[in-house]
Structure 1
Amino acid sequence: MATPRFEEIADDFSFLDEWEDRYRYVIELGRGMAPLDPVLKVPATKVDGCASQVWLVPRLEGSGRSARFDFDGESDALIVGGLIAVLHALYAGLDPAGVLAVDASEELGRLGLDQHLSAQRSNGVRAMVARLRGIAQSALEEV
């Protein structure tokens, strides 16, 4: 279950034959995200388990099961900023149960990212996914 925006990224990936081009595309996706306000770069928004500096700031519109999930994020590494943008495309706009229903590993695997990221980057993606899923789970528990 992927959002239409993630499907666009998957389609774009299918037209890029070389991994160097795919990396450039991911980096461009990251450059398209708005930078975080520096006051949001605090320990509470920092994601542990990433080799790079990563901050994720959740936004829930509404409450409980009917909330709509969104987040802002930033990294000090270009490729990781792009991975944040890919995760944003995967989750933004879903309700909390929808976020939990997404199999991020499977969806990212469709892009081949599972095979082309370093072990450290893969660990970082898992840490970001865990943080986002935790936020969604907390929203469901508010019901």
Structure 2
Amino acid sequence: MLPPIETIIENFEIVEDDDMRLEYLIELGRALPPMPEALRNEANRVHGCESQVWIDTAVEGSGPEGRLKLQGFSDSFIVRGFVALMVALYTGKSAREAAETDGLDLFRHLRFGAHVTSKRSNGVRAMAERIHRDAVRLAEAA
């Protein structure tokens, strides 16, 4: 089970060593709840990632009380850690709150930009954009 996003941020702020930060990211990926095979489909595939990435964005509850529930998976341990960050960041938010949240801000705040390949950075951007589009669509439907 993933810790709350606030705890994740605090843990990353404590760890200065790049190798340890990467290890923690991989641990988060391992803590990501399993994504059912049935949800690993083309509709949930995130394009623009070098690795295979799937994210399913659903709403639990209805109307303004509905909260996002994200599930995700990647075939790469490091990328799965980034998926875990996105899941922790957005799960539990209303669709409107999620639409106003920038996942790339978290990526920058945690200082991953300088230590991640441009392809992985593009993948994180693709995940954040995908979740944003889903949140906007769900907010409009609520």
Structure 1: gaps spanning 5 or more residues: none
2:68 aligned residue: 69
2:54 aligned residue: 55
Cα distance between partner residues in 1 of 2:75 and 2:110: 23
Q: Which runs of 4+ in 1 moved over 6 A?
A: none
Matched, 1:97 2:101: no
Aligned-residue RMSD, C-alpha: 1.5
Deviations 1:114-137 (A, max 9, x none): 222110001101111111111111
Task: Tell me which of the two structures has the higher relative contact order, counting C-alpha pairs closer than 8 angstroms and 6 or more residues apart.
Answer: 1
Structure 2: gaps spanning 5 or more residues: none
Q: How does 1:1-143 map to 2 (within 5 A)?
A: 5-143=4-142
Query: What is the total number of aligned residue pairs between the two structures?
Result: 140
Deviations 1:85-138 (A, max 9, x none): 111111110001111221222222111012221100011011111111111111
Deviations 1:73-95 (A, max 9, x none): 00000001000111111111000
Q: Does the 8 A contact of 2:104 with 2:128 survive in 1?
A: no
| TM-score normalized by the length of structure 1 | 0.91
Cα distance between partner residues in 1 of 2:64 and 2:115: 35
Q: Which stretch of structure 1 is more off in the superposition, 55-64 or 123-132?
A: 55-64
Q: Which stretch of structure 1 is more off in the superposition, 33-42 or 88-97?
A: 33-42
Percent identity over paired residues: 36
Question: How much does 1:17 deviate?
Answer: 1.7
Cα distance between partner residues in 2 of 1:45 and 1:102: 20
